[in-house]
Amino acid sequence: MRANLRNVTGAIRAKRANVVGEMPHWEQLRDLGAALKDDTLADLPDRLLQLERSVQARGGQVHWARDAREARDLVALIAEQHAVTELIKVKSITSDEIELNLALEERGIHAVETDLAELIVQLSKDSPSHILVPAIHRNRAEIQELFNTELPGEGQLSDDPAALAGAARRYLRQKFLTTKMAVSGVNFAVAETGTVCVVESEGNGRMCVTLPEVLVSIMGIEKVLEKVEDLSVFMELLPRSSTAERMNPYNSFWTGVTPGDGPQEFHLILLDNGRTNVLADEFGRQTLRCIRCSACLNVCPVYERAGGHAYGSVYPGPIGAILTPQLLGMYDKNANTLPGASSLCGACYDVCPVKINIPQVLIYLRSEANVQKGLTAEALAMKGMKFVMAEGWRFEGALKLARVGQGPLVRGDAITSLPGLLGGWTQSRDLQPLPKEGFREWWKRRGQEPAAASGEADTSSESKERV
Ligand code: SF4
């Protein structure tokens, strides 16, 4: 798995650096993207109402979902109204967030994923591990074996990528041509016109949003933009940051319903599911700028080593570490540990096309998590350390005590096993014992006070000489 991750993220990283490097005004574009998102978020209620009016004026229907359950119920209800037992889907992380496929399956409706990587994940009963490349953890041999078992009528396929893609294409084409209803996510929606946009690379999304009779699009409320011209900024930022392309292969835009052309029934579901809580937090709010490009995952050393599944969250990587705890709330036991999954190296901030200061939000959320956790053993230990280290004499006293206390634990020139909770530290490493004499004691023994030899003392004597 690590080899797959290293290869793919490494290749995307290098390509991204090239296509971003050829944009002389990339930094200004990032500033503009961030400012446009912030402006829209500042007026979010008005922008959403404007979007609702625009979509309705063009023949679409708008639904508001407070949480995942309401959104799932809306999709299932629309499917049931049309007697649909199978629908096709464009890759949508928002639909994963609300666990749509599972809920539909429980109501007898099968959702077919049409993005190749999502199809691989679905057929293998797995879960996505990357925002852009959901099957990044799977290699070619695994996909060959999967398709040979799961795709009917294809015979024995080789591991040639063209043969595997061809088999998926034949399977999906039949679904595109026979299925009555599709579900998509939304990359952007324009309030002034009601235009909805899906950005993808395989053309499966274009099939889903044009061929079926009924289209349902689920949109996180932060995806709204004010004007059509705002799209031009994000159409530059998104492809270069995600697939490292100058232009995205398939950008589908639709506005309501057009008689005789495309789906004749269009539903837009506006999903909150914790987003208004994020919006209410002045510091965490910048997280809602995210355009799900996945650039932050591709540069993250923690993601590269741990993989997406380790986060236990639909949104993996640095964006998952700040978005999931805010959506679910800091009392969620898994989510509130996610801000700790970072070395705070800042690589994510450097590449984020909308300048979300992920390291700063991580630190902020860590302190929020500590407040939620209350007085744990770790917090008590840290408070104790703070007390001891605040005064030199306390620190020296504590060292003297520790030197005496460590006696029974020292074996030769190392401490190989610590008692109780501290034992975790010595499970895979030895601890160096404290020396018999510390620096300060050695210095005093030489008959000088540490302050007299400090840089401060030297500087003052130098300045006296200069005077
Ligand atoms: S946080 Fe920034 S870099 Fe990460 S997915 Fe969102 S927009 Fe992309």
Which ligand 1 atom is nearest residue 291's CA?
Answer: 7
- Separation CA 271–CA 260 (nearest Å): 29
- Residue 217 three-state SS: strand
Question: Looking at residues 320-331, what average pLDDT do you find?
Answer: 94
Strand-pairing partners, residue 112, are 88
Alpha carbon nearest to ligand 1 atom 2, residue: 352
Distance CA 306, CA 41 (A): 33
Per the structure, how many domains does the chain have?
3
Co-location of 150 and 191 in the same domain: yes
Q: State the pLDDT at residue 459.
A: 42
Atom index in ligand 1 nearest the CA of residue 297 equals 4
Among 41, 241, 288, 314, which is best to mutate for testing ligand 1, by the most ligand atoms less than 8 A from CB? Answer: 241
Instruction: Return the CATH number at 126.
Output: 3.40.50.10420
Boundary residue ending a domain (372, 407, 427): 372
For the segment 192-201, the average pLDDT, to the nearest whole number, is: 97
CB of 190 within 8 A of CB of 227?
yes
Clarify whether residues 76 and 212 are in a common domain. Answer: yes
Q: Which two tokens stand for residue 242?
A: 């995600």
Q: Are 56 and 63 in contact (CB under 8 A)?
A: no
34 in ligand 1 pocket by Cβ < 6 Å? no
Do 166 and 30 have their domain in common? yes
Question: Which pLDDT score, from 0 to 100, does residue 463 have?
Answer: 38
Cβ of 274 below 6 Å from ligand 1: no
Residues 217 and 297 in one domain: no
CA of 371 to the centre of ligand 1 (A): 27
One domain, residues 248 and 309 = no
Average pLDDT of every residue of the chain: 91
Please tell me the residue having the least CA distance from ligand 1 atom 8: 293
Q: How far is CA 13 from the centre of its chain?
A: 16
Q: Is 299 in the pocket of ligand 1 (CB under 6 A)?
A: no
pLDDT of 420 strictly over 90: no
291 lines ligand 1 (CB under 6 A): yes
pLDDT band at 449 (very low <50, low <70, confident <90, very high): low
Whether residue 181 has its Cβ less than 6 Å from ligand 1:
no
Provide the pairing of β-strand 195-200 with 110-113. Answer: unpaired
- Distance (Å, whole) CA 429 – CA 1: 26
What's the N-to-C CA distance of the chain in angstroms? 66
C-beta of 293 in contact with ligand 1 (< 6 A): yes
Same domain, 172 and 228: yes
- How far apart CA 59 and CA 185 sit, in angstroms, is 19
Confidence of residue 48 (pLDDT cuts 50, 70, 90): very high
Query: How many H helices and E strands in the chain?
Result: 22, 12
Regarding the beta carbon of 359 and ligand 1, being less than 6 Å apart is answered: no
What is the Cα–Cα distance from 109 to 84, expressed in whole angstroms? 7
Q: What's the whole-number mean pLDDT along residues 328-347?
A: 92
Question: What 3-state DSSP class applies to 134?
Answer: coil
Is the pLDDT at 176 greater than 80, yes or no?
yes
Mark whether 256 and 351 lie in a shared domain.
no
* 193, pLDDT greater than 60: yes
The verdict on residue 284 lying in a domain is no
Q: Is 78 in the pocket of ligand 1 (CB under 6 A)?
A: no
pLDDT, tens digit (0-9, with 9 covering 90-100), for 53-91: 999 999 999 999 999 999 999 999 999 999 999 999 999
Pairing of strands 195-200, 250-255: antiparallel
Element (H, E) at 444: helix 439-445
Domain range enclosing 311: 291-372
Establish if 285 belongs to a structural domain.
no
- Where do we find the tokens 């809306």? 74
Please report the atom of ligand 1 found closest to the CA of residue 242: 8
Asked, for residue 426, whether it belongs to a domain, the answer is yes
Q: Considering 273, 300, 320, which residue would you say is the last residue of a domain? A: 273
State the Cα–Cα distance between residues 243 and 324, nearest whole angstrom.
23
- Kindly state if the Cβ of 352 falls inside 6 Å of ligand 1: yes
Residues 230 and 329 in one domain: no
Q: Whole-angstrom Cα distance, residue 45 to residue 43?
A: 6
- SS3 state of residue 182: strand
Nearest to 230 by CA among 201, 266, 191: 191
Mean pLDDT of 84-107: 97
Q: Is residue 283 part of a domain?
A: no
Residue of 319, 324, 338 with the most ligand 1 atoms within 8 Å of its CB, for mutation: 319
**pLDDT at res. 131:** 83
Q: Is residue 461 part of a domain?
A: no
Is position 279 within any domain? Answer: no
Instruction: State pLDDT tens for residues 241-293.
Output: 999 999 999 999 999 999 999 999 999 999 999 999 999 999 999 999 999 99
Tokens read off for 118: 């999502």
Give pLDDT, residue 451: 55
* Residue in 120, 119, 101 with CA at minimum distance from that of residue 4: 120
The pLDDT of residue 3 is 79
> What's the DSSP call for residue 454?
S
- Residue 464: per-residue pLDDT: 36
Query: DSSP string of 309-371?
Result: GGG-SSS-HHHHHHHHHHHH-TT-TTGGGGGGS-----HHHHH-TT---HHHHHHHHHHHHHH
Picking from 214, 239, 273, the residue at the C-terminal end of a domain is 273
- Give distance in angstroms: CA of 139 to centre of ligand 1: 25
The answer on 221 and 240 residing in a single domain is yes
Same domain, 390 and 413: yes
Which two tokens mark 176? 């595109």
Report the alpha-carbon distance of residue 452 to residue 11 in Å, rounded: 56
Q: Is 295 in the pocket of ligand 1 (CB under 6 A)?
A: yes
Rounded average pLDDT over 37-50: 98
**In this structure, what token pair is assigned to residue 195?**
């235009």
Residue 26 within a domain = yes
Least confident range of 114-123, 133-142, 385-394: 133-142
Which own/partner pairs from 80-85 qualify as long-range (CB within 8 Å, at least 24 positions apart)?
A: 80/107, 80/109, 82/180, 82/181, 82/213, 82/214, 84/109, 84/180, 84/181, 84/214, 85/109, 85/110
Q: Looking at residue 428, what is its pLDDT?
A: 81
User: Do residues 51 and 189 lie in contact, with contact meaning Cβ atoms separated by under 8 Å?
Assistant: yes
Give the contacts of 5 (CB within 8 A, at least 6 positions apart): 136, 137, 303, 304, 307
**CA–CA distance, 274 with 9 (Å, rounded to integer):** 30
| pLDDT over 90, % of the chain | 71
Same domain, 245 and 129: yes
- Which neighbouring-strand residues pair with 215? 182, 266
Phi, psi for 68 (deg, rounded to 5): -60, -40
CA 271/CA 319 separation, integer angstroms: 19
pLDDT, one tens digit per residue, over 365-412 is 999 988 877 778 878 888 899 999 999 899 989 998 999 899 889 988
Does the pLDDT value for residue 453 go beyond 60?
A: no
Structure-token match 């993996």, residue found:
316
Both 174 and 304 in one domain: the answer is no
Does residue 358 have a pLDDT over 70?
yes
Residue 445 lies in a domain: no
Strand bridging mode 188-190 / 224-225: parallel
Rounded Cα–Cα distance for residues 307 and 404 (Å) = 44
Q: Where do we find the tokens 């319903």?
A: 257
Distance 136 CA to ligand 1 centre (A): 18
Give me 261's structure tokens: 């052309």
pTM across the whole model: 0.83
- Of 188, 290, 362, the one to substitute when testing ligand 1's pocket (max ligand atoms within 8 A of C-beta) is 290
Among protein residues, the one whose CA lies closest to atom 7 of ligand 1:
290
